[in-house]
Amino acid sequence: MPLSHALLALAVTAVWGTNFVVIHIGLEHLPPLLFAALRFLGALLPAALLLKRPAVPWRNLAAYGVLIGAGQFGLLYIAMTGHITPGLASLVVQTQVFFTIGMAAAISGERVHRRQVLALLVTLAGVGVILLNTDGTTTTLGLALVLAAAASWAASNIVVRATPAADMLAYVVWASLFAVPPLFALSFAFEGWPAIRDGLVGADAATWAAVAWQAIGNTLFGYAAWSWLLARHTVANVAPMALMVPVFGMGASALWLGEPLPAWKLLAAALVILGLALNVLWPGITAALRSRARCRKSPATLGRRRN
């Protein structure tokens, strides 16, 4: 991968990681479900007027929109209203990798490898460390909500896999059509008009910048750039860069919001990231070792044949 492409991948992971701090800023004035609705409204318009609807069934777009809208981000934003810190949220939501593996195995019978079980156990150990250290800033409810958000993200991944050739940027934009209505409906039902009105009236420039960043930076730029990279490089070269998302998330939260990083939190982060790394990097490592072993055996084999 050329240096410029690697830097682009790093920029995407930086945007996705620091986005958890941006979410925190937006939630200072906006109720969580309203914030999520505005995020997807900004992703839908005006982009839907410029991008052709992807050639996938409407039911796929609807399922994906509901799962990432009310499911993934609705639950995540609720969790981040005082139930979990932005840094830990950026870490725990990455468990979607293992939810995706489990769902794929249950639905389509995909084989679960031993390394994936080992990776899951290591990651669960990290989640367990967080669970043992819940306090006023991170609660059991917050952890549960983020895990539910990760499961919703995983379910959306299964939906996307049904149409692998689709343009992901257009897919996300048009799926937002189905994310906006339920989020607004849930906001009116559970947050109420007074909270919505007060949030909109009290929103300042930073709040609206957070909404815009969610829609443009995190969604449109992030998905467009990542899809562009995947179209030009193997998944094995691009996917490992996503391991930087929780690193940027926890680092940004510590630097900008003053989130403390005690030893237990660093241990949890190390275990979760190690689990993710085992799942993502292990196939490439084993393939490289086998290739090297074949290369070492080759001269000896040739020597025996000559003799």
- Helix axis angle for 96-108 and 140-160, nearest 10°, is 50
Q: Give the C-alpha distances (Å, rounded to integers) separating 219 from 68, 74, 163, 235, 274.
A: 12, 15, 19, 20, 27
**Sorting pLDDT into bands at 50, 70 and 90, what band is 275?**
confident
Confidence of residue 286 (pLDDT cuts 50, 70, 90): low
| pLDDT at residue 90 tops 80 | yes
Per-residue pLDDT reduced to its tens digit, 184-222: 999 999 999 999 999 999 999 999 999 999 999 888 898
For 55-89, how does the pLDDT look when each residue is reduced to its tens digit (9 = 90+)? 999 999 999 999 999 999 999 999 999 999 999 99
Rounded to whole angstroms, the Cα distance separating 272 from 251 reads: 15
Determine which of 39-53, 75-89, 153-167, 276-290 has the lowest per-residue pLDDT on average: 276-290
Contact of 187 with 33, CB cutoff 8 Å: yes
Q: What does residue 163 show for φ and ψ, rounded to 5 degrees?
A: -135, 70
**Mean pLDDT of all residues in the chain?**
87
CA distance 164 to 161: 5
Residue 280: pLDDT over 60: yes
